[in-house]
């Protein structure tokens, strides 16, 4: 990856050549597949992050409710003991 978030095409060309002994050019159609895969992956990651955020929010809300109920129960016990 480069600093702008795009793949380093020259590095990819070098890796493909080294691993598969195939020389790609920067305008090769294979890079269309790379772009399609990246767009799909970005969409999936975005959906996953939304779901994780929702789960974390639900968990935090539930934890707050448990804390409130525990505090009330402890307060009740303290009053009864006192």
Terminal-residue alpha carbon distance, the chain: 65
Q: Is the pLDDT of residue 58 over 70?
A: yes
- Report the 3 state secondary structure along the chain: CCCCCCCCHHHHHHHHHHHHCCCCCCCCCHHHHHHHHHHHHHHHHHHHHHHHHHHHHHHHHHHHHHHHHHHHHHHHHHHHHC
What percent of the chain shows pLDDT beyond 70? Answer: 96
Domain locations in the chain as residue ranges:
9-81
What pLDDT does residue 3 have? 64
| Region 46-60 average pLDDT | 98
pLDDT band for position 49 (50/70/90)?
Answer: very high
Structure token digits, residue 36 = 């399609």
- Contact by Cβ (8 Å): 8, 2: yes
């Amino acid at each position: 990856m480069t600093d702008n978030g795009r793949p380093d095409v020259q590095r990819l060309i070098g890796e493909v050549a080294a691993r598969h002994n195939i020389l790609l050019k920067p305008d090769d159609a294979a890079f269309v597949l790379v772009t399609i895969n990246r767009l799909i992956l970005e969409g999936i990651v975005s959906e996953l992050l939304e779901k994780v955020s929702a789960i974390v929010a639900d968990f935090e809300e539930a934890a707050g409710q448990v804390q409130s109920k525990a505090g009330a129960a402890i307060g009740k016990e303290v009053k009864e003991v006192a």
